[in-house]
Structure 1
C-alpha cells in the first residue's frame, strides 16, 4: 500500500502532487545586495528534484531598510529583483514542484543590533506603509511566476507579534482586548494580499501555534484565530511555534522533544477550518507522517531540516527505499548560517548549501582496491562513495560496530537521534560492495597485503596527555570512556575539564546520576550573542551551555588547572587572580586530542603513494566536517 502523503491535494485553485512541503528556512545564500544567487537557485533546484509538492524559500525581505533584517536573504522590495526571483520559480517548476514566496518582515526581532521599534511604538501610518510593502511584494511574486505566497504570522515576527500577549501592549484598535483587534493587522494584510494576487494563486499562512513561554500564544488561542484566517481568504495554514524571542529551540527543536511535538497544535487548528492544515515539529519518519494524516490531525506535513538533510526524502519513499533515508539528527548545525560557500550546512548531508559542488559521480573505479581505516562517519562516507564509483573499498574497523565517535556522542541526554545516522550507514553498507571488516585493527602489514591502489586513514583521534600533577590517579577518567562505557560513578562531586560540547554533554550525562558538576575551562567564556550568526558561539554550543546551567551545572571559564590531591582540585581563577579549590571525587578530562594517524605516517615513510588522512585523523572537527571530508576524498580520487 502506498503512502498517504504521496496523494495529491487541492489547495485553493491549484492541485499539488503530494502532501509534503519544504518549509521556509532562512539561509544566507543570496548576494549581499539581496539578489538571487546561483547558490540560491541550485539549492531550490535540489529541494524540488527530491520530490516535494511545495517548496518555500525562506524569508523574502519586503523592507531591506528595516534596522534588523537578516543578511544575504532574497529581497522582494523592487522590480529589479524579479528576474532573479523568476530563476527560483523556474528551478522549482522544471523539477515538478510548486513554489510559494514567504513575504517576511521581522518586526522587533533584532538580528543586526539596529534597535528596531516595537509594535507598541509604531504608528498606524507605519503599519499602513508596511501593508503597502506586503502588497507590492505580492505583485512582484506574481510577476516572478510564483504559485503563491506565504504570509508569516509565526516565529515572533511582525504578524505574530500583533497576536501575542507577550509583545502586543497596544490600547488602540490593534491591541488584544478583543479577538478582532488582536487579528486586525493580519486580517487587513491578508485581504490586501488576496486582492494583489487574485484567486489563481495560493495564499498560505504560517501561524504561531504557541509561543513557548507562559503568558504567550497557546494552541487554544491559535485555534481561535484560524476561522478568521480562513474567512480572510487563506487557502491553507501551516502551524509552527517559537522563535528568536521566545525560544529558538521551540522553533527548531534541538532533539529534546518527541517527533511531531507540535502536531497537537495543528490538530486543534484543523478542527476549526475547512482549508488544508499543515503540521510541523521535528517530523522525520514516513510511517509517522502517514499516521497523522490518516488520523486527521493534519492534511499535509511540512519539513525544514528533515528535507535539508535528506533531499530525496519523498523520492526514496515513493520508490520503496525508506531504509536509505538520511534522517536529520536535530544537532542544530544548520543554525550556523551558511556564510562559507564550500562548507556544508548539515551534519549528515555533505552537499547542503553547496549544491553547486555536486557533480555526477565518475564511475571509473574499475575494481581498484582502496583501504579505508576507520568506520566513523568520515570512513563510512568515503567507503560508500568509493563503492558507488566502482572502486573496491576494504573498510577496517577495530571495534565491533561502525560509527566511531557518534557512539560516544549519542550517549548524553537527548542525543539518541545521533544513532539514526549510524543506522543509515549500517543499512547502506549492507547494500553496498564495501568489504567491511569489523573487529579488525588495520596494520601496515594487513593494508599492504591488499596491494591497494590507495589508502585513506580515517581512524579518528586519541586523547592527549594532560600534564597536571595528580592526574595519573584512578579517579581521573577520559570523557569519551565515561560516555562510551556508560559509566555509573560513585561519589557526589565531579569536575569536568573542558567546556566544549563533549565536556558539557558529559556533565549533563553525569548530572542525570544526581552528581554535583563543575566544568572548568582555560579559555574565556564565549559570548552567546548572535550564536550561529557569526558570533563567538555556535548555536548548538549556546543551547547546551544554557541547558547545562539551567540544570544547575556550574561552568567556569578562565580557570587554569593546577593540581589534584586528596580529593581536592586546585585551579587558578585567572580573572580574579587567585587560587581556588573544588572537591573532586572524580575528574573527567575532555580537553586535548590528537589525530590517530600513525598508519598514515608509517605508510608515507615507506614511500607509499596515494595515502591520505581525513576526519579527526587529519584535523579535529565535528560530524559535518568528517562527512564532508569523506565525500570530498572519494569524489576526488583519480
Structure 2
C-alpha cells in the first residue's frame, strides 16, 4: 500500500489536453543509439519499455537529430526522423505501442546540431534567413513524422545550436533574429508555431529550457553558492522569454540550467554528486509565478519527500527521474507499493552513463549493469543450488553475493570489518556523498531478504573456508592505501585520507594532501569545506589525471570547488620529508618547506593481501573480483561481479 505522504506523486496531470497517469517523468538522456536508418533499435525499445513497465508517467526520449549539416538530411548515432521517415515511423510505432501498453506516454526530444559547438555558434551568426527558415521547417517536418510514429508530443531542446541564437553574448546578428530578446527567441517561437500548424494545436510541444547559464567572466562555470555577474542568460531574461514562448504555443517547460558551450563538462546540465538535492527547484519556483503551463524538472529529485513537498507547495508540476531510472527502472512502482527501501540508489557519479558515452562505449549504469542491456538473457535460476562463499563485503563482494543468491545458491559472506561496503563506508563520510551509504544500505536489505549468511567482524581464514567446503569461492578482499616511506613518516603530523574523513585523526587548521587523485582531492575538499587551509601536492602535471578517468562534469566541478574553497594546488612535485616545521617538497628541481599542522597521505590504493593464490586450486570454482584483482572503480567492480556471478 502506498504511503499517503507521497500520494501527490501519483496524481494525474495534464499537458495541453494529454493526461498523464502520475507526476513522474524520465527526462531526455543520451543512452540509446539508432540504426543505420536513423530509426530506433530493438535495444532502444527494450530500454524504454523497461522504464514504462516500472510505472513512470511520461518518458522523454534522448535527442532526435533534426538536421545534420546546413539543413541536409544526414544520419548520426542519434535517431533522425528525416533520414528515413518510413523506417523511423515503423520502429517508432513498435516503440510507442510498447510504452502505451503500460499506460505511459512518450515524447520525443528534437534537437538541432551540426559539427562542434564552436562551429555551431559560428554558424548561427552566418546562417541566412532562408537557412533559418529551413531549420524551422525541418523541426516541423520532424515533428510530423514523430506524430505519425505514435509519439504523444515533442520537446524542443533549446540548448546546443539554438543557444547560439538565443543567448545575447553568442548572437551577433543584426537582422530580425538578433539583438532584442524577442528577436533572439524568434526562431524558437517560429518552431513551436510551425509544429502546431502541421501537427495540430492539441499536439503537446514543451521546451527543455536552460533558465540560467551560470557563466561567469572569463568563460568559466559558476558554482551554486558563488557570487558572480552572469555573462549568459539570467533568470530575469528567462522569465521574459517564457512569456513569449507560451504566447507562441509552448505547452510546458522542462527546466534545466547551464550552457552547452562546456559540452560534457557542464556540471549544471549533468549535476554530479557534489550538488545538493533539487538542483533546479529555485528556478522552477520563479517560473511558476509567470506561466500557467506545467513546469517540469529533474536534477537530483529522487528523494520522495523533497519531490512531494515541491509538488504540494506549487514549486513545480512534474518530477524528473533521469539517472535514478537508470539505476532502478521500477522506482515509481516501488514508491507506489511502499517498497522505497528496495529502490537501488543513483550515486550521481556520471560514470556508468555519461562518461561511458563520451568514451565511445555503451552507456549503462554504475550500480545497475543490466541498464541498456535489457535484451540480454536474465540470470538463470539454478536447478542444482551450490554452496557459495564470498570473501570481502565491498561492492564486488556484495554484488557477487546478491547475484548468486538471486540465482538460488546458498551464500555465505565474510567481512572482516564491522559493516559491509568496503571503501564505500568511508567515502560516504565525505560531504555530499551520502548516496554511497544508501547503496550499502540497499545491499544490506537485499542480502537479508535473500537469506545470505553475513559474517561481520570475521576474518576469512582458510580453515573457516574449508569447514564450509564451498563449490564456488569469490575472493573480493579489496584494496588498501598505498604506503610510502620518507624521512619523518612516523611523525604525529602524518595521517592518511581514510583516517581523516572518518574523524579518526584530528587535523589542524593547515594541512597538506600528498596525492591529487580522486580520494586525495575529495578528502581535501572535505577539510576545506570545514575551514581548513588545504594544499594539494601531486607528482603529475595535473590533479585528477591518474587512474580511471572521471566523468568530465564531476572532474570539473571538483576542480572548481577546490578553487572556491581556496585550496592551493602544486603539481609536478613530490614529498621529500616531514619535519617539525612542516612538509618539505621538491618542485621544478627546488626544495620548498611548507608550514603545516598535518600531512595527509592519499597516494591511491593497491590490492590488499589476498587468499587467491593459496586457495585457487582448493575448490571447484575460485574467482578473484574487484580491487582484489586490480584497483578499479565502483562501476568496474560491480559490473565484473555481476557478470561472473551471473554465469557460474
TM-score (norm 2): 0.87
Note the alpha carbon deviations across 1:433-455, whole angstroms, 9 max, x for none. 11122222221112222222211
Match of 2:146 in 1: 141
Tell me how many residue pairs correspond in the alignment: 623
Q: Secondary structure at the match of 1:546?
A: helix
Counterpart CA distance in 2 for 1:526 and 1:36 is: 40
- 1:451 and 2:469 matched: yes
- Provide closer, same or farther for how the CA distance between residues 372 and 240 of structure 1 changes in structure 2, counting only shifts above 3 A: same
**Aligned equivalent of 2:219:** none
1:93 corresponds in structure 2 to: 100
Instruction: Indicate conservation of the 8 Å contact 1:411/1:486, yes or no.
Output: no
Q: Distance in 2 between matches of 1:538 and 1:52?
A: 29
SS of residue in 1 equivalent to 2:432: coil
Q: Which moved more, 1:293-302 or 1:2-11?
A: 2-11
- The offset of 1:577, in angstroms, is 5.0
Bigger Cα displacement from structure 2, 462-471 vs 294-303: 462-471
Picking from 516, 534, 539, the partner of 1:499 is: 516
Of 517, 523, 527, which aligns to 1:510?
527
Match of residue 24 from structure 1: 28
Question: Does the Cα contact within 8 Å between 2:267 and 2:556 map onto a contact in 1?
Answer: no
Partner residue, 2:354: 335
Kept in 2, the 8 Å contact 1:518–1:556? The answer is yes
- Look up the match of 2:393: 375
CA contact (8 A) 2:471 2:619 kept: no
Q: Is the 8 A contact 2:8 2:308 kept in 1?
A: yes
Query: Once the 2 structures are TM-superposed, how far is the Cα of residue 542 of structure 1 from its aligned partner?
Result: 3.2
Q: Distance in 1 between matches of 2:635 and 2:339?
A: 24
Cα distance change of structure 1 residues 607 and 380 upon mapping to structure 2, 3 Å threshold: closer
CA–CA distance in structure 1, aligned partners of residues 141 and 568 of structure 2: 52
CA gap of 1:491–1:252, structure 2 versus 1, over 3 A, is closer
The change in CA–CA distance for 1:617 and 1:485 in structure 2 (over 3 A counts) is farther
Q: Distance in 2 between matches of 1:355 and 1:342?
A: 16
Tell me which of 586, 594, 607 is aligned to 1:595.
607
> Is 1:243 aligned to residue 259 of structure 2?
yes
- Alpha-carbon displacement from aligned partner over 1:489-525 (angstroms, at most 9, x marks no partner): 1362x33222211111121122234444332333333
Q: Compute the displacement of 1:122 (Å).
A: 3.5
Provide closer, same or farther for how the CA distance between residues 161 and 114 of structure 1 changes in structure 2, counting only shifts above 3 A.
closer
Which of the residues 53, 59, 80 maps onto 2:57?
Answer: 53
CA contact (8 A) 1:597 1:613 kept: no
8 Å CA contact retained: 1:33, 1:72? no
Pairing of 1:45-194 with structure 2 (within 5 A): 45-65=49-69, 72-79=77-84, 82=88, 83-106=90-113, 110=116, 114=119, 116-117=121-122, 119-153=124-158, 156-177=159-180, 179-194=181-196
* Whole-Å separation in 2 of the counterparts to 1:166 and 1:91: 44
- What displacement does 1:94 show? 4.4
1:563-602: CA deviation from partner (whole Å, max 9, x where unpaired): 44554544444xx455555445433222243222522222
What secondary structure is seen at the aligned counterpart in 1 of 2:62? coil
Matched, 1:278 2:290: no
Which residue of the other structure, out of 375, 382, 385, is the alignment partner of 1:356? 375
Aligned to 1:234: 250
| Deviates further, 267-276 or 161-170 | 161-170
Question: For residues 434 and 562 of structure 1, what CA distance do their matches in structure 2 show?
Answer: 48
In the TM superposition, what is the alpha-carbon distance from 1:271 to its structure 2 partner?
3.2
* CA drift at 1:104: 0.3
CA distance in 1, matches of 2:489, 2:169: 51
1:426/1:536 Cα in 2 relative to 1: closer, same or farther (>3 Å)? closer
Q: Which whole-Å CA distance do the structure 1 matches of 2:75 and 2:309 have between them? A: 37
**Could you tell me which residue of structure 2 aligns to residue 387 of structure 1?**
405
Superposed counterparts of 1:187-266, under 5 Å: 187-199=189-201, 201-213=203-215, 214-245=230-261, 248-266=266-284
Please give the residue correspondences for 1:550-561 in structure 2 after superposition, counting only pairs within 5 Å. Answer: 550-561=564-575
TM-aligned CA distance change 1:110 to 1:549, over 3 Å: farther
Deviation at 1:461, TM superposition (A): 0.8
Q: CA deviation at 1:324?
A: 0.7
SS at match of 2:122: coil
- Distance in 2 of aligned mates of 1:297 and 1:273: 12
Return 5+ residue gaps in structure 2 as ranges: 216-229
TM-score normalized by the length of structure 1: 0.88
Residues of 2 paired with 1:120 and 1:631: CA distance? 50
Flag the 1:31–1:471 CA change in 2: closer, same or farther, 3 A: farther
Which deviates further from its counterpart, 316-325 or 4-13?
Answer: 4-13
Unaligned 5+ segments in structure 1 are none
Distance 1:151 1:341, change over 3 A: closer
TM-aligned CA distance change 1:391 to 1:226, over 3 Å: same
Q: Is the 8 A contact 1:29 1:338 kept in 2?
A: no
Corresponding position of 1:614: 625
Partner of 2:222 in structure 1? none
Question: How big is the shift at 1:258?
Answer: 3.1
Contact 1:120/1:168 (<8 A) preserved: yes
Residue 72 of structure 1: CA displacement? Answer: 2.7
Cα distance per residue 1:91-114 (max 9 Å; x no partner): 43344432211110248x945x65
Distance in 1, Cα, partners of 2:212 & 2:302: 21
> Bigger CA drift: 127-136 or 239-248?
239-248
- The answer to whether 1:294 aligns with 2:312 is yes
SS of residue paired to 1:355:
coil
Q: Whole-Å Cα distance in 1 between the matches of residues 260 and 189 of structure 2?
A: 24
Q: Alignment RMSD, CA only?
A: 3.2
Task: Tell me, in whole angstroms, the C-alpha distance in 2 between the residues paired with 1:269 and 1:249.
Answer: 22
* Residues 121 and 170 in structure 2, CA contact (< 8 A), matched pair in contact too: no
- CA 1:426–1:535: 2 relative to 1, 3 Å: closer
Per the alignment, in what secondary structure is the counterpart of residue 482 of structure 1? helix
Deviations 1:307-356 (A, max 9, x none): 12221111212222111112222223232142678866322222233333
Partner deviation per Cα, 1:8-61 (whole Å, 9 max, x = no partner) = 333233332222111001236345885544443332222222221221121211
Distance 1:365 1:511 in 2: 55
| Separation of aligned partners in 1, 2:468 and 2:53 | 40
1:624 Cα deviation (Å)? Answer: 1.3
Partners of 2:622 and 2:41 lie apart in 1 by 37
